[in-house]
Amino acid sequence: MTSKKKLLAIINPISGTHQKSDIPKAVKEVLDSSLYDINICFTEYAGHATLLAKEAVSSDVDCVLSIGGDGTCNEIAKALVHSNTALGIIPMGSGNGLARHLDIPMDVMGALKIVNERNIVSLDYCKANEKLFFCTCGVGFDALVSHRFAEGKHRGGMTYVKKVVTEYLKYKTETYLIVSENGKIKEKAFLIACANASQYGNNAFIAPHANMQDGKIDVTIILPFTPFDIAPMAVQLFTKVIDKNPNIRTFETPYLKIIRENPGIMHIDGEPVEMDKEIEIKCVHNGLKAIVPRENSKKLFIEPIHTAFWEVIDTIKTELDI
């Protein structure tokens, strides 16, 4: 008889906008008790998930579930790299970029059923000045917005959009030097996104061709643009074709260095951090084990365009009076 696998479910009670009090019951009801010996705990402070995950690795736990958003995933996953402990994701954050990239269902019950399948694969992760990220990191406008979003009291997609519009109206672009195996680029840029996964979250595909198993970082540079460019760029962002925009530069590389004018904010998986003016970013191939769906049920190309998307466009047009 095969012995049960040890599983630890780590719940972040304050991530996203969802109530978490009923999650332990759902975990126990849906996860197969013949497969797993289940333990559940809640995080109590920033960084707690990392400590709990490290203890799980030391205790030979087979799987750690991240029940929260991309920030919670980051805290847990960075403790699991280069171990035999697999990451499972139950997405309950504001954006859920990593879960969406991996085609993990957005509903709790559906995501828990994926864990029962125990389909484990190896995924890449990345480092920015030795800080680990699994989805995206970036400098420029998206880093500023992540900083403002973190300062706010309210979470959710429309709160994020309003922050984007407000900050856009007063944002000043910077000049960056980018060094990679492809050579040197000096550009005045609105933002530079470095992607391991394809999207920020909420189906906003900043790097639509990113692959978490190719050992490469997908770099997207957005050049300065006018308010009239925003609506078509937003459409392209949500329909996986932003790389076709004339204001976009893209390339792939296993390593790059970004040199900016001054130290300042960047974002790591959507969380703002202070960083030096020189940022070295590299991809570590197949360094993380994760549970993913057996069949990547690829969504229809047009699927991300839904009611919430058109709310975004309407908000942008209203705020900018266009």
Residue 84 pLDDT grade (very low, low, confident, very high; cuts 50, 70, 90): very high
pLDDT digits (tens, 9 = 90+) for 197-229: 999 988 999 999 999 999 999 999 999 999 899
Q: How confident is the model at residue 321 (pLDDT cuts 50, 70, 90)?
A: low
- With a CB cutoff of 8 Å and minimum separation 6, the contacts of 152 are 159, 163
Given this model, what pLDDT does residue 17 score?
62
pLDDT digits (tens, 9 = 90+) for 248-271: 999 999 999 999 999 999 999 988
Q: Are 77 and 87 in contact (CB under 8 A)?
A: yes
Please classify residue 89 by burial: count the beta carbons closer than 10 Å to its beta carbon, then call 0-12 exposed, 13-18 middle and 19+ buried: buried
User: Which domains are present in the chain?
Assistant: 5-118 (3.40.50.10330), 131-285 (2.60.200.40)
Taking Cα atoms as reference points, which of 116, 126, 135, 131 lies closest to residue 63?
Answer: 116
Residues 52-74 have pLDDT tens digits of 999 999 999 999 999 999 999 99
Q: Give the Å distances, CA to CA, from 235 to 187, 204, 272.
A: 24, 9, 26
Beta carbons of 211 and 175 less than 8 angstroms apart: no
Mean pLDDT of the region 230-242: 91
pLDDT at 144: 86
Please say whether the beta carbons of 221 and 248 come within 8 A: yes
